[in-house]
Amino acid sequence: MSDSKLYKDDVGTVILADVKSDITSATKAALKVMKTNASAEVEWVGTVYSETLSEYIEDTGAKQSNPDFDGMDLTDTVCRRIHYVVIAGDLDVSGVYKMQGYLEMPAWVGRGETFSVLVTEHFS
């Protein structure tokens, strides 16, 4: 997730969830979301985000010395993040939202680590 602040009722905000693994072969990429005080999760279907290794390192602070990047050039393409664009109704309550990346891949289906984002009221 980038460092942008999220506000209640925002639309068009981009969420990039780093799963820290290669997800090039994913046939489905989504975020499972538990909103503040919600009794059930919702699913926000996204896409696999493709970028250069240089862009990924600059945006996430990852180290080029990561063994996952051995033999790679900074111009090589990596797919390690889920891309989702917020639509109307997604951020309808303020508070802490818990999220998990969800992927369907040929050899694996499952969720990533839970992360939290704060959705704030306007002018907070």
What are the residue ranges spanned by the domains of the chain? 6-120
pLDDT for 2-51, tens place per residue?
A: 457 899 999 999 999 999 999 999 999 999 999 998 889 999 999 999 99
- pTM assigned to the model: 0.92
Q: What value does the mean pLDDT take over residues 50-60?
A: 97
| CATH code 2.60.40 for 6-120 | yes
Q: Could you give the percent of the chain with pLDDT greater than 70?
A: 97
Q: Which of 34, 62, 55, 30 lies closest to 44, judged by CA?
A: 30
Query: Is the Cβ–Cβ distance between 74 and 65 less than 8 Å?
Result: no
pLDDT: which is higher, 99 or 123? 99
